[in-house]
Amino acid sequence: MFQRAASSRSFPKHFNPGTTESSSGNSASVPDHGSKVSARSETSLLVLNAPEPPPPWQEVSGRVRRAVLAEVNRPSSLTKCFVSVLRGLFPILLWGRHYDRKSFRRDLMAGLTLASLGIPQSIGYANLAKLDPQYGLYSSFVPPLIYAVMGTSRDIAIGPVAVVSLLLSSMTQKLVDPYTHPDALGFVVDFLSHATIVGFTGGAAIVIGLQQLKGLLGINHFTNNTDVVSVIKAVWFAVHQPVSTASFVWNPRNFLIGCSFLVLILILRSIGLRKRKLFWLAAITPLLSVILSTLLVYLTRADKHGVKIIRQVKEGLNPSSVKQIQLTGPFIGETAKIGLICAIIALTEAVAVGRSFAAARGYQLDGNKEMVAMGFMNIAGSLSSCYVATGSFSRTAVNVSAGCETTVSNMVMAITVFASLQLLMKLLYYTPVAILASIILSALPGLIDVKEACRIWRVDKMDFLACLGAFLGVLFGSVEIGLLTAVIISFAKIIISALGPKTEMLGRIQGTDIFCSMRQYPSAVETPNLLILRIDSPFLHFMNANSVKERILARIAGGCDATMTRFVVLDMSNVTHIDTSGIPAVEEIHKKLTSSGVQLAIANPGWRVIHKMKLAGLVDIIGEEWIFLTVSEAVEACGCGNEEDSSLSG
């Protein structure tokens, strides 16, 4: 327990502990505890004499400095500052000095293994995004090179991914009619929680799988809608059409090729997962499938019998796309929304993948630097004909299994992709579209996390509702509907929590100076003549100030028994922010309590809270002598500590 000083405590001029004049003119009697309240705690002075909190701009600049500087403390000179900025933006300058041949050999093998999986996946994801195959390879060349020098994850593999590809294809096709886009999507992306991402990713995985039926069945014309009902209708229509309508009929040869290689990929992947020494089987199987299926189609001339093939893939280095960037036009607002949503989803996925592997391998991932690296690599990609690239869980798992040491494995993969673009694109002419569908389908099971959905259900039912809303919205509506449904549920949860914060009645744990919730700890006992309330909300602002005030006054009115409440201690340890609506609420609580002969004491207000209370003059109204560092000090100052101890001993 804190030491208490012998200095005297003076009462505010407007409050007399013996007699208080109410607003109606009636006198309310309060016992004189002058001898007990006169001792002022030195620790309580710490609350009132705390330095001013840093202004918001200083906090923002501090976050920016931590994001771009390699050192936490500010460098002493301009040269050191410049060097620190370079090391902060390019972590390769830090770990590159200790890079050796052994690490390079491991990264080389990991990068080549990664390329064997990334090349066919990138072509498949470009097809999913309704882009030409080369754009998937472009996105596996420039962004990985940028991330390799700017990223903080040693393991993450950069390139196009299934979910973002689906987002682009489903949202950009509606640009012809800008009114089909919900305007709310522009600002609601901040409400995408972990549960929302789990539900959205699971629903998107099923939608992606259904979309691959077009390539797997060899259907020429397919619905542009992504909901499950429209896709099933399109498949049913194609399968049951007469042969005369050849453009809609499915081709069993495509189905046979796709399913055969899908089974092969899944079997070899299962073997690779069971036996760690054979991990390379899971990585090389997609590339092996592409090679074998291409040879099969070429030798049998299956393309002449209805098997759909990729045909021409443009070869060569990424062409510049600077001149294609337009900052004016009727669709600039819609494209900005699409870019913002894709950026949030891509960044969330990348950071989640990076942190999971960083935790497993025992190092720290810097989220701020990851955001900077992801932003720079996608800006560079947008200038070189790439679409959105991010971290892929399946490719990262292969990268780790292959023994990667640093981001050099991404460089090796990018160089391999570049060599493929220069030399091997003509060999993909006879690659069947069905094999791309089977490669994408083989990667989808990892996107559906049933265990995590069950865990969310056990932990938080409202989060599960957001998860389910995103899942069903994507599955039966569209990507936009799924996101909006989840965001509306999450936003409603925030509003409900903000509008109705709880106020807990605190009691003392017998034999200690610990005060805690009497509902959570039934053994805690109430202090006679004293009511201790805690505000369980980080914010006391315009949305909940009146609600908190009414709850506190209602508790005081309902808590008065035969022994009249004479002191109220308001524990504000959980309140970190208060605004110009919260301050008058506390002032009115004090006013009503004073008019009833009850003294208000404030315990442990936050740094910014006490600062604003002083600026608003609320500390002078309540009285500096009624501001305390801890609840136990406030209870002792009210003269109730010894009374409670004696009642307990009795």
Burial of residue 447 (number of CB atoms within 10 Å: 0-12, 13-18, 19+): buried
Does some domain include residue 54?
no
User: Looking at residue 420, what is its pLDDT?
Assistant: 92
Structure confidence at residue 295 as a pLDDT band (50, 70, 90): very high
Within this chain, do residues 368 and 235 fall inside the same structural domain, yes or no? Answer: yes
Is the confidence at residue 186, as pLDDT, over 60? no
Q: Is there a single domain that holds both residue 479 and residue 544?
A: no
Q: In whole numbers, what is the pLDDT of the chain averaged over residues?
A: 80
pLDDT beyond 60 at 60: yes
Q: Do 569 and 514 fall into the same domain? A: yes
Closest CA to 256 of 217, 298, 310: 217
Sign of the dihedral defined by the CA atoms of residues 514, 515, 518, 524, in that order: positive
The pLDDT tens digits of the residues spanning 503-547 come to 888 999 988 888 999 999 999 998 888 899 999 888 888 888 888
* Together in a domain, 533 and 472: no
Residue 24 lies in a domain: no
416, 417, 418, 420: CA torsion to nearest 10? 90
Which segment of 159-168, 347-356, 510-519, 635-644 scores lowest on mean pLDDT?
A: 635-644
Given this model, what pLDDT does residue 374 score?
92
Give domain status of residue 586, yes or no: yes
Residue 73 lies in a domain: no
The secondary structure element, H or E, covering residue 606 is: none
| 236 and 361 belong to one structural domain | yes
Segment 464-481, tens digit of pLDDT: 888 898 899 888 887 778
DSSP three-state, residue 387: coil
> Same domain for 486 and 513?
no
Rounded CA-CA distance 317/417 in Å is 10
Q: Does residue 35 sit within a domain?
A: no
Range of the domain at 567: 501-638
- Mean pLDDT over 82-92 rounds to 84
Q: Which helix (H) or strand (E) holds 507?
A: strand 502-508
Residue 68 CB burial class (10 angstroms; 0-12, 13-18, ≥19): middle
C-alpha span between 184 and 207 (Å, rounded): 23
Strands 627-628 and 599-603: parallel
12 within a domain of the structure (yes/no): no
511 and 365 both lie in a single domain: no
Cα–Cα distance for residue pair 295/274, rounded to 1 Å: 30
- Residue 382 in tokens: 């947008």
Q: Tell me the per-residue pLDDT of 245-270, one tens digit each, with 9 for 90 and over.
A: 444 456 788 889 989 999 998 898 88
Give 11-23 as a 3 state SS string: CCCCCCCCEEECC
Model confidence at 482: pLDDT above 90 = no
Structure tokens, 53 = 């909190």
Contact status, residue 133 vs residue 435, Cβ threshold 8 Å: no
Which are the contacts of 173, defined by CB distance < 8 A and separation ≥ 6? Answer: 130, 224
> Taking a C-beta distance cutoff of 8 angstroms, is the pair 518, 505 a contact?
yes
Domain termination site, one of 468, 492, 516 = 492
Pick the last residue of a domain from 471, 492, 513.
492
Q: Which range among 8-17, 76-85, 340-349, 624-633 shows the weakest confidence by mean pLDDT?
A: 8-17
Q: How many CB atoms lie within 10 A of CB 453?
A: 17
Q: Are residues 242 and 363 in the same domain?
A: yes
The mean per-residue pLDDT over the stretch 161-189 comes to 61
Shared domain for 155 and 255, answered yes or no, is yes
* Beta-ladder partners of 503: 535
Residue 75 lies in a domain: no
DSSP 549-581: HHHHHHHHHHH--SS---EEEEE-TT--EE-TT
Name the pTM for this structure: 0.69
Nearest to 368 by CA among 67, 163, 108: 67
Residue 510: CATH number of its domain? 3.30.750.24
pLDDT at 390 over 90: yes
Mean pLDDT for the stretch of residues 361-386:
88
Average pLDDT over residues 602-628: 91
Q: Are 515 and 524 in contact (CB under 8 A)?
A: yes
286 and 149 in one domain? yes
Residue 523 CA to residue 649 CA, distance in Å, equals: 15
Contact 156, 347 (CB under 8 A): no
* Torsion of Cα atoms, 533 then 539 then 542 then 547, to 10°: -30
Count of domains for the chain:
2
Cβ neighbours, 10 Å, residue 259: 15
Residue 449's pLDDT is 85
In a domain, 469, yes or no: yes
Q: How many CB atoms lie within 10 A of CB 184?
A: 14
Of 288-292, 540-544, 570-574, 645-649, the poorest mean pLDDT is in: 645-649
Q: Are residues 316 and 414 in the same domain?
A: yes
What does each C-alpha distance from 456 to 307, 453, 459 come to in angstroms?
44, 5, 5
Radius of gyration (Cα) for the chain, nearest Å? 33
User: What is the pLDDT confidence band of residue 379, given thresholds at 50, 70 and 90?
Assistant: very high
Domain boundary at 492, 518, 541, which?
A: 492
pLDDT digits (tens, 9 = 90+) for 119-172: 999 999 998 888 888 999 999 999 999 999 999 899 999 999 988 888 888 877
pLDDT at 642 over 80: no
Q: Taking the chain, what is the end-to-end CA distance rounded to the nearest angstrom? A: 23
Percent of the chain topping pLDDT 70: 82
- Do 505 and 488 belong to one domain? no
